[in-house]
């Protein structure tokens, strides 16, 4: 008789390696690991090997960068939610995509149980709510909230069972938008000079940088390199008193540059009354994401409103990057008056 299967979101962190073995032992189940490439960089095949070494019967590594950028990150930016985000919103935006992929694999593996390595109740609720909206028949497990081991106990559990250690923390707390950082001061510019950018938009979507056409993922990665090299994009984080070694800031250079350019374009083509409504909806959008309510009629309605606003947002925005700051220099597109 085939053992039941549990599909686990596997990050490569020690906790998820422990979860593979713990789930297998506790539920007498086979564990299938799923890792998403969300732009964290590094060698993800290393993570796949670690999942198999931890006892997973299969380990899937899925390239989800383009879907993450287009369906989640860019919708949130167009909605204006980036200004309300902090580091946590990029992480929260990844959760519904992770759940979608877990459910896809669960269907393929004939499983009705998915699991993840999140510790906080808020993060667990994001997984539960996303899964409940898509597949209410699927159970969501948060093993770390069940076993309640300390970090030292997790390490000892792994040592006794010869489980692989964690991958580099650089891979664990990163995606296309953000990289965790320590220290609230912007990183020193690597070039020592200023940089000028021209970002071309078509119907609210960036399509070129300095005249070079790019796909969205490539464009984000390019801006991360250029703007990050000028020290742009350091965002302070609220500190968790229970985790003194947690990041104090995140680096999000592409997000800051694109948000600045998109807002400039929007101001030029949006009437004041519509802009006021948009500001209120932006805060609501961010709260929906944080609460794990991506798959909700309200979020879809705000997206429809936002999509309408993008119709006139075609043009070029010039930016200057100097000493960690991003400022608009030129804006080449019709003003609102031309559309009223």
Give dist(CA 216, CA 334) in Å, integer.
Answer: 24
Q: What number of H helices and E strands is found in the chain?
A: 13, 13
**What SS3 class is residue 257?**
helix
Measured N-to-C along each axis, helices 14-27 and 44-53 cross at an angle, to the nearest 10 degrees, of 30
In this structure, are residues 327 and 195 in contact, taking their beta carbons and an 8 Å threshold? no
Residue 113 has pLDDT above 60, yes or no: yes
In this structure, are residues 306 and 315 in contact, taking their beta carbons and an 8 Å threshold? no
Distances (CA, A) of 150 to 15, 121, 158, 238: 10, 16, 12, 23
**Residue 87: predicted pLDDT:** 47
Average pLDDT over residues 186-210: 85
pLDDT-derived band of residue 102, with 50, 70 and 90 as boundaries? Answer: very high
Give dist(CA 123, CA 92) in Å, integer.
Answer: 8
**Residue 334: predicted pLDDT:** 53
Residue 337 has pLDDT above 80, yes or no: no
**Residue 273: predicted pLDDT:** 95
The four Cα atoms 290, 295, 296, 298 give a dihedral, to 10 degrees, of 70
Nearest to 41 by CA among 10, 63, 67, 70: 63
In this structure, are residues 127 and 22 in contact, taking their beta carbons and an 8 Å threshold? no
**Residue 84: predicted pLDDT:** 64
In this structure, are residues 209 and 165 in contact, taking their beta carbons and an 8 Å threshold? no
Average pLDDT over residues 49-77: 96
The neighbouring-strand residues paired with 236 are: 249
pLDDT-derived band of residue 1, with 50, 70 and 90 as boundaries? Answer: low
pLDDT in tens, 123-177: 999 999 999 999 999 999 999 999 989 999 999 999 999 998 776 555 556 889 8
Angle at 14 between CA 8 and CA 19, to 5 degrees: 35
Mean pLDDT in the chain?
88
Measured N-to-C along each axis, helices 253-269 and 216-229 cross at an angle, to the nearest 10 degrees, of 110
Give dist(CA 76, CA 93) in Å, integer.
Answer: 8
Distances (CA, A) of 51 to 21, 46, 95, 164: 10, 9, 20, 8
Tokens 């929906």 locate to 288
pLDDT-derived band of residue 340, with 50, 70 and 90 as boundaries? Answer: very low
Residues of 245-283 as b/e, b for ≥16 C-beta within 10 angstroms? eebbbbbbbbbbbbbbbbbbbbebbbeeeeeeebeebbe
Tokens 């997790």 locate to 154
**Residue 242: predicted pLDDT:** 47
The residue ranking higher by pLDDT, 35 or 194, is 35
Residue 40 has pLDDT above 60, yes or no: yes
Structural domains in the chain? 5-172 (3.40.50.620), 179-338 (3.90.1260.10)
180 Rama class: left (phi>0) / alpha (psi -120 to 50) / beta: beta
In this structure, are residues 199 and 266 in contact, taking their beta carbons and an 8 Å threshold? no
pTM, full prediction: 0.90
pLDDT-derived band of residue 2, with 50, 70 and 90 as boundaries? Answer: confident
Give dist(CA 196, CA 328) in Å, integer.
Answer: 10
Is the alpha carbon torsion for 286, 287, 292, 296 positive or negative? negative
Cβ neighbour number for residue 336 with a 10 Å cutoff: 16
pLDDT in tens, 11-37: 988 999 999 999 999 999 999 999 999
pLDDT in tens, 222-271: 999 999 999 998 877 665 554 555 666 788 999 999 999 999 999 998 99
């Amino acid at each position: 008789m085939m053992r039941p299967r549990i599909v686990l979101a596997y990050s490569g962190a020690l906790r998820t390696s422990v979860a593979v073995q713990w789930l297998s032992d506790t539920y007498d189940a086979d564990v299938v690991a799923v890792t998403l490439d969300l732009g964290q960089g590094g060698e993800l095949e290393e993570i796949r090997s670690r999942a198999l070494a931890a006892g997973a019967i299969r380990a899937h590594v899925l390239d989800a960068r383009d879907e993450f950028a287009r369906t989640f990150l860019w919708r949130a930016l167009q909605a204006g939610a980036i200004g309300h985000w902090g580091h946590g919103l990029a992480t929260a935006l990844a959760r519904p995509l992770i759940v979608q992929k877990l459910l896809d694999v669960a269907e393929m593996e004939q499983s009705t149980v998915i699991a993840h390595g999140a510790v906080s109740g808020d993060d667990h609720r994001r997984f539960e709510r996303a899964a409940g909206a898509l597949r209410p028949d699927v159970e969501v497990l948060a093993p770390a909230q069940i076993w309640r081991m300390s970090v030292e106990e997790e390490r000892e559990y792994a040592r006794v069972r010869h489980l692989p250690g964690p991958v580099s923390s650089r891979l664990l707390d990163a995606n296309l938008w953000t990289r965790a950082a320590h220290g609230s001061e912007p990183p020193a510019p690597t070039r020592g000079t200023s940089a000028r950018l021209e970002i071309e938009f078509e119907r609210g979507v960036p399509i070129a940088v300095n005249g070079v056409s790019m796909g969205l993922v490539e464009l984000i990665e390019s801006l991360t390199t250029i703007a990050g090299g000028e020290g742009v994009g350091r965002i302070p984080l609220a500190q968790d008193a229970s985790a003194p070694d947690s990041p104090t800031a995140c680096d999000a250079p592409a997000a800051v540059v694109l948000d600045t350019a998109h807002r400039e374009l929007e101001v030029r083509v949006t009437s004041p009354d519509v802009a006021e409504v948009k500001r209120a909806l932006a805060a609501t959008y961010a709260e929906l994401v944080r609460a794990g309510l991506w798959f909700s009629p309200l979020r879809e309605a705000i997206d429809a409103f936002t999509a309408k606003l993008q119709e006139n947002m075609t043009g070029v925005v010039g930016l200057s990057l100097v000493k960690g700051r991003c400022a608009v220099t030129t804006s080449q597109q019709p003003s609102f008056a031309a559309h009223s």
